[in-house]
Amino acid sequence: MNRVTLFRIVEKLYRALSRVTVENEDLLPAEGPVLIVMNHISFWDFPALTLQRRRDDWNVFIASSYKNHPVFSRIANSVQLVWIDRGKADFTAIKQAYGWLQNGGAFSLSPEGTRSRSKALLRAKEGVAMIALKASVPIVPVGIVGSDRIFADLLKLRRAKVTMRFGPPESYPPIDPERRSESLREMTDDIMCRIGALLPDAMHGFYAGNPAIERIRAEWRGRYPGMSLPDSDRTA
């Protein structure tokens, strides 16, 4: 099965199981290497990327724990998803992600490195900044809300409301080698605040109260007048 066929099947399944809305999709570059960064609250987060129609040349990491799964392993291998061992620094997986970007594709990951059980943002790891800088690619933030309710709501015979919201691409200059650790941390936090700017305030978690989130929202409102952003009192 080729990736486009698989993506369309997953898209139809996603729309059948949820009431999903994709916002600001036009902000995702239609071509060229880009790192798509998103919060991670559910199994259904990354499959939601099949709902956008800007590009099909995107890829993601998949946990090596699924390698022996009779279905997921076949699907992952057929569309060349990147296996990653989350129990260690998997440089082979990172190299593959870098190669995908170098070939002009889009790669998506969660800077948090794991699923947030609380649904609020966790403190991110610096790996996302290192990949973006090494590959010299812009990042596109994505905030997803409600995907954690899909299974639970199905048990109640209803479809969960899911919102996937894109932000504009952002490029970062090379970091100061004399401040490498601090610069990577600052860049990582900025990336997370951009994701936070696309989420309701109740989901800001570790980044709650960070003034950069409102600064970023104000900047986007000025640059993209029609851009959809969450209100503080909204749940999506």
Q: Which residues pair with 60 in a beta bridge?
A: 108
Of the candidates 163, 58, 206, 38, the one whose C-alpha atom is nearest the C-alpha of residue 110 is 38
In 61-204, which ranges are continuous DSSP H helix? 72-78, 91-102, 127-135, 150-155, 180-196
What is the distance between the alpha carbons of residues 36 and 11, in angstroms, rounded to a whole number?
A: 18
| pLDDT tens digit sequence for 58-111 | 999 988 888 888 888 888 888 889 999 877 778 899 899 999 999 999 999 999
Q: Tell me if the pTM is above 0.85.
A: yes
Rounded CA-CA distance 164/149 in Å is 14
pLDDT of the residue at 75: 84
Most confidently predicted of 16-25, 76-85, 127-136: 16-25
- What is the C-alpha to C-alpha distance for residues 140 and 98, in angstroms, rounded to an integer? 16
* 235 pLDDT tier (thresholds 50, 70, 90): low
Question: What average pLDDT is seen over the chain?
Answer: 93
Comparing 85-89, 109-113, 175-179, 213-217, the range with the smallest average pLDDT is 85-89
How confident is residue 35, by pLDDT bands cut at 50, 70 and 90?
very high
pLDDT value at 233 more than 60: no
For the stretch 150-171, pLDDT in tens is 999 999 999 999 999 999 999 9
Rounded mean pLDDT of 192-216? 98
Among the listed residues 39, 40, 21, 46, the one whose alpha carbon sits nearest the alpha carbon of residue 164? 21
